[in-house]
Amino acid sequence: MEIIILETSAQVAERGAQIVCELVRKQPDSVLGLATGSTPMALYERLIEKHKTNGVSFSSVTTFNLDEYVGLDPQHPQSYRYFMNKNLFEHIDIKPQNTHIPPGNLDNPLAAGPQYEDQIRQAGGIDLQILGIGANGHIGFNEPTSSLGSRTRIKTLTKKTIDDNSRFFAQDEFQPYLAVTMGIATIMESKRIILLATGWKKAEAVAETVEGPVCALCPASALQWHPCTSMILDTAAASLLKHTAYYKFVLNEQDRLVERFGDPR
């Protein structure tokens, strides 16, 4: 794992956006895996800005989001389809038909997983997956004890996640407790992964992900097995890591190599 520790959450968003834009410039028909939630919002703002001012084009890009609530209409303001349209897709030149969100409103919700897996496969797999992390170590909606070999499927959310996300729902509003989520194995097939984490609330999950054992109680720890994952953290989210001096040393050495020989990624 590459551990990048930056001073501020704004720098985390900028670094993430740079990685996305570099890929899209190099490979205009890239397949991106996207996340929702608070963390990637600033990154999406920067993608919009880079599209508008630096001419970064998403016209040949395909996207697959990690997850969607079961039982919410795509027009519902808390659905992840609505979130993505409002916070990214409507502001860039991506083709709506190239954007994919797991279907959360199928008559048979159990069909959602295999159908989504097929679509990802047909698109040639995900080139770059953007992840946030739950305070309980989840990625996508793969809650603690999710199988590390899981594929896209229906997951029941934990009370912690339901409580964490209740801030987005009005008090009397129906808040879904089921979601369709890419599985851990689905995420692990992405060629490159960047996980963004900011703020103290994520510090424990980040430390367990990077320095704890690989175990289903912290689903993000599976990323230790991924050959090309970058954890992009602000100082608060990195505050419980024990080996920060080493991570900085590694990055310096890597920067020197990249300067001399180019970035192979």
68 contacts ligand F6R (rule: CB under 6 A)? no
Phi first, then psi: what are they for 142, rounded to 5°? -80, 95
State the nearest-atom distance from the C-beta of 84 to ligand F6R, in Å. 9
Residue 18: Cβ within 10 Å count: 13
CA distance linking residue 162 with residue 33, whole number of Å: 23
- 98: annotated active-site residue: no
- 87: annotated active-site residue: no
Can you say whether residue 158 is alpha, beta or left, with left for phi > 0 and alpha for psi between -120 and 50 degrees? Answer: beta
66 contacts ligand F6R (rule: CB under 6 A)? yes
Show contacts with ligand F6R in window 119-178 (CB under 6 A): 132-134, 138-140
- 67: annotated active-site residue: yes
Q: Which of 65, 98, 136, 165 is catalytic?
A: 136
32 contacts ligand F6R (rule: CB under 6 A)? no
CA distance linking residue 13 with residue 28, whole number of Å: 21
Which residue, 35 or 56, has its beta carbon nearer to ligand F6R?
A: 35
- 54: annotated active-site residue: no
CA distance linking residue 255 with residue 257, whole number of Å: 5
Which residue, 200 or 246, has its beta carbon nearer to ligand F6R?
A: 200
Which residue, 39 or 62, has its beta carbon nearer to ligand F6R?
A: 39
Closest to 99 (Cα-Cα) out of 83, 85, 113:
85
State the nearest-atom distance from the C-beta of 92 to ligand F6R, in Å. 18
CA distance linking residue 113 with residue 103, whole number of Å: 8
The residues that are catalytic are 67, 136, 138, 143
User: What residue ranges bind ligand F6R (CB under 6 A)?
Assistant: 35-39, 66-67, 132-134, 138-140
